[in-house]
């Protein structure tokens, strides 16, 4: 069943609005700094909204409703890892990053602490991380548009991605942040309304809990069925660490007007995420009742289409598209900036002018968009792709980055510049081997083994090389 003409009209209006924002901001872009960090002038309200809209994307809506639908309320506890991550990042990491000067990407930070090798390794991993997560958003957009239009999945993915590419290409991070503000308001209003209407139609939360328990009691227990304690710990750590200091957050911290803005924007959204997690969990539980034999990724969109009134369907679908597009545009812009700043200007054209960097970033935006479409079609499951990507991020980049940032002030290098690269490589390889080839023996999650390996290698290397200063140590970041 396709949606009504009124609902479709509302969605088309939304598409036109975000495209107009891209056109409007394009006229305000005159430099690479404007395009990549929005002139470092964003106030708290916009930084809060862009962090929220970026985090609550396709994986956090379509994917997590699917996750609740397939596993039950244990997902709520696992998702508290995101809340803890955001609050801790806000208090201890975001303001330090904003205090540093000339920070555009994660590569800039790694360059300062670990030299060119640390910068290059982290930039390549971060670029692949962004491209993979962009694929999640492309996939989620296709899942939303498919039941709306009745058209084939692949063309819808391409059409939706082209719209994201258009306004991101035009206005860079400035366009992304402005559209994020609109999209976040639409997100909160639409998702909350869908949840409340669903609870009302089902007769209240007590009725929902009773019906879910009658269908499968395991959906209402913390550990049951496939959710052993080790599986829970693995998922919790993936949510706790997998999104921490992701490249798009670093870009937003750098775009803030002050360090205080970075701090309180991040902490505030961390608290808000508790509310969003409850809303998503409620919709997933309703899906268990009304769609007993449906593919998880389709539950949310079919719930909206089947149980909400005309007009509200268009608003909620607009909200879903908003969160997917906002996260997608953020990932797209961040990946393009990483390529230009950390790879192109360091390896290909070291003497590139500001105008050349701006043009290169726009070209990279187009390329990453195409790559995202390919990834989404090769791995057709939103949540699996997101969780696997998170699982690889935490044991590789995160430990050296966090240690370097919190050990001393933002202007101090207390870690050995040699410690980062081998720790990153060792942590990632151990995670892949432990997870994919050994099958997580002894019930120990791959992410845990990866982090432990990373820390051990980092510690040993630091002790052995703490007094050495490499000849190529980076000095190009002013602090």
CB of 246 within 8 A of CB of 41? no
Q: Decide: 66 and 296 in contact? Cβ < 8 Å.
A: yes
Which pTM does this prediction carry? Answer: 0.82
Check if CATH label 1.20.1740.10 holds for domain 5-382: no
Alpha-helical regions (H) of 38-152: 44-55, 64-71, 74-92, 94-99, 106-149
Categorise residue 31: left if φ over 0, alpha if ψ from -120 to 50, beta otherwise.
beta
Of the candidates 265, 243, 309, 336, the residue with the CA atom closest to the CA atom of residue 52 = 265
> What percentage of the chain reaches a pLDDT higher than 90?
28
What digits encode the pLDDT tens for the residues 222-280?
766 666 777 778 778 878 887 788 888 999 999 999 999 999 999 999 998 888 888 88
Structure tokens at 361: 């970033």
Residues with pLDDT less than 50, the chain = 382, 471-479
Distances from the Cα of 422 to the Cαs of 343, 405, 419, 427, 454, in angstroms? Answer: 20, 18, 6, 8, 8
Both tokens of 243, joined, read 């999104």
Q: Which two tokens stand for residue 322?
A: 């908003």
- Assess contact for 61 and 299: CB atoms under 8 A: no
Domain range list for the chain:
5-382
Whole-angstrom distance, CA of residue 292 vs CA of residue 281: 16
- DSSP one-letter code for 308: S
Would you say how long the chain is, in residues? 479
Please give the pLDDT value at position 58: 59
pLDDT of residue 418: 93
In angstroms, the CA 78 to CA 280 distance is 13
In this structure, what is the dihedral angle of CA atoms 157, 158, 161, 167, given to the nearest 10 degrees?
-150
Residue appearing with tokens 């001393």: 408
DSSP letter for 347, please. I
- 8 A C-beta contact, residue 367 and residue 215: no
414: tokens are: 């207390």
Mean of pLDDT over the chain: 83
Query: How high is the pLDDT of residue 59?
Result: 62
- Phi then psi dihedrals of residue 462, to 5 deg: -60, -45
Residue 184 burial (CB count, 10 A): 26
**What's residue 132's pLDDT?**
76
What the block records as the tokens of 354 is 């500001």
What is the structure's pLDDT at 399?
93
Beta bridge partners of 256: 42
């Amino acid at each position: 069943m396709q949606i009504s003409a009124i609902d479709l009209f509302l969605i088309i209006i939304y598409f036109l609005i975000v495209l107009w924002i891209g056109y409007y901001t394009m006229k305000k872009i005159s430099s690479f700094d404007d395009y990549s960090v929005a002139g470092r002038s964003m106030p708290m309200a916009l930084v809060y909204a862009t962090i929220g809209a970026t985090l609550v994307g396709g994986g956090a809506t379509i994917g997590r409703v699917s996750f609740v639908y397939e596993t039950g309320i244990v997902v709520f506890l696992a998702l508290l890892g995101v809340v803890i991550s955001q609050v801790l990042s806000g208090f201890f990491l975001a303001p330090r990053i904003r205090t540093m000067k000339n920070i555009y990407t994660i590569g800039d930070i790694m360059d300062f602490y670990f030299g060119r090798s640390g910068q290059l390794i982290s930039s390549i991993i971060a670029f692949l991380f962004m491209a993979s997560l962009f694929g999640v958003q492309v996939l989620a957009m296709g899942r939303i548009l498919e039941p709306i239009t009745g058209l084939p999945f692949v063309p819808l993915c391409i059409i939706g991605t082209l719209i994201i590419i258009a306004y991101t290409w035009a206005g860079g991070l400035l366009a992304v942040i402005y559209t994020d503000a609109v999209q976040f308001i639409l997100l909160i209003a639409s998702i909350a309304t869908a949840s409340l209407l669903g609870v009302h139609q089902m007769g209240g939360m007590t009725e929902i809990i009773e019906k879910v328990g009658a269908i499968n009691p395991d959906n209402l227990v913390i550990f049951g069925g496939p959710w052993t304690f080790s599986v829970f710990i693995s998922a919790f750590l993936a949510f706790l660490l997998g999104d921490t200091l992701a490249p798009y957050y670093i870009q937003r911290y750098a775009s803030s007007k002050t360090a205080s803005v970075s701090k309180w924007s991040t902490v505030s959204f961390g608290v808000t995420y508790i509310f969003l997690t409850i809303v998503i969990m409620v919709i997933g539980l309703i899906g268990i009742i009304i769609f007993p034999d449906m593919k998880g990724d389709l539950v949310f969109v079919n719930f909206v289409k089947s149980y909400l009134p005309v007009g509200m369907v268009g608003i909620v679908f607009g909200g879903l598209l908003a969160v997917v597009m906002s996260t997608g545009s953020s990932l797209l812009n961040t990946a393009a900036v990483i390529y230009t700043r950390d790879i192109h200007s360091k390896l290909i054209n070291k003497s590139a002018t500001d105008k050349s960097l701006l043009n290169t970033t726009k070209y990279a935006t187009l390329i990453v968009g195409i790559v995202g479409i390919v990834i989404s079609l090769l791995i057709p499951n939103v949540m699996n792709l997101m969780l696997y990507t998170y699982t690889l991020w935490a044991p590789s980049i995160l430990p050296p980055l966090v240690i370097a940032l919190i050990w001393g002030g933002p202007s101090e290098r207390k870690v050995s510049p040699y410690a980062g690269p081998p720790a990153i490589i060792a942590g990632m390889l151990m995670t892949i081997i432990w997870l994919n080839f050994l099958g997580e023996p002894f019930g120990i999650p791959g992410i845990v083994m990866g982090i432990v390996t990373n820390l051990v290698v980092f510690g040993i290397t630091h002790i052995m090389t703490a007094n050495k200063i490499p000849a190529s140590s980076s000095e190009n970041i002013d602090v």
